[in-house]
Amino acid sequence: MKPLKIFLFICGIFVLAGVCFATEGGGGAYPNGAEDFMCGAVPPPGFYYINYTVGYFSDTFRDSDGKSVDPDFKLTAYGNVSRLVYVSKKKILGGFWGIHTLIPIMYVDVKTSTGKDSKTGLGDIFVDPCIISWHSKNLHSAAGIEIIIPTGAYDKKDIANVGRNYWTVEPVFAFTYLSDTGWEVSGKFMYDINYENDATRYKSGQEFHYDYTIGKKINKKLTLGLGGYYYTQTTDDKQNGVKVGDGNKGNVFAIGPQLKFDSGRMSFILKYQKEMSVENKPEGDKIWFKFIAGL
């Protein structure tokens, strides 16, 4: 098996490692499920710091038919991501212009029938030089283009890696609708265009995925919700220009409870996500802790 990767990071982002299904390594550049409450509501002009801590735990890797393919498979991954955001007062197309970068530190431990491996280090860095955000009374939205840079360590001979060794360009659109009664619906939609891994001549297929949240504000500080993500691979994997197997297209849906606590210029979010309907990917559970601070 080739290295399995699951990149964990939020509205940023992280990299995890893995085996060879559903894109090279079984995962995409974006850590699905990273975004949640208010993900379409970019804050007012200023500087902001967001920190994501995530744990991912899996003991099953499923094939195209949803069957487990390796009884010895086990993946444990932890990520801590720092996201720096700047929103300017300058407007483009009627929306505020901003930029951000995400810097992940990863720990990955992978076991398969072929061996065991673990890695710790800097993952692949995200940058977005042009985030545009729009605001009205109840509806907020934002658009941008993420560029994922292959800065993480990678060796094609290893089972575990903290980098993917190829570039990804990811157009993004996010929205948040807030009702006058305290209900919220938020979503972040992404489409990944992957470049070739020059160490393996493997080109992972393109991917469509979104994070979603439905929430209700209980009082001025507490919001409860339900959310998760959906992921599907839209084109085939190829190696040396030839389709790999049946295309190795991945699919997964996840859902779980979410909680947000607001305190002054800081917000804290805790959430759990359970994966299901998995094809050509690991199936597991994620636990996230996130905080946002205005600087």
Q: Report the distance separating Cα 269 and Cα 266, nearest Å.
A: 10
Q: From the CB of residue 204, how many other CB atoms can be counted at a distance below 10 Å? A: 32
**Residue 235 DSSP SS3:** coil
Ordered DSSP codes for 62-121: E-TTS-B--TT-EEEEEEEEEEEEEEEEEEETTEEEEEEEEEEEEEEEEEETTEEEEEEE
Q: Report the distance separating Cα 12 and Cα 33, nearest Å.
A: 10
Q: Where are the domains of the chain?
A: 9-294
What's the pLDDT score for residue 23?
67
Considering only the C-alpha atoms of the chain, give the largest distance between any 2 of them, rounded to a whole number of Å. 56
Q: For every one of its 295 residues, what pLDDT tens digit does the chain have, with 9 covering 90 and above?
A: 333 333 222 232 233 333 333 567 666 789 999 999 999 999 999 999 999 999 999 999 999 999 999 999 999 999 999 999 999 999 999 999 999 999 999 999 999 998 999 999 999 999 999 999 999 999 999 999 999 999 999 999 998 999 999 999 999 999 999 999 999 999 999 999 999 999 999 999 999 999 999 999 999 999 999 999 999 999 999 999 999 999 999 999 999 999 999 998 899 999 999 999 999 999 999 999 999 999 8
What is the C-alpha R_g of the chain? Answer: 18
Query: What one-character DSSP code corresponds to residue 197?
Result: B
pTM score, two decimals?
0.90
Give the position of tokens 């977005």. Answer: 128
What's the pLDDT score for residue 28?
79
CATH number of 9-294: 2.40.160.40
What's the pLDDT score for residue 17?
32
Contact present, 255 and 273 (Cβ < 8 Å): yes
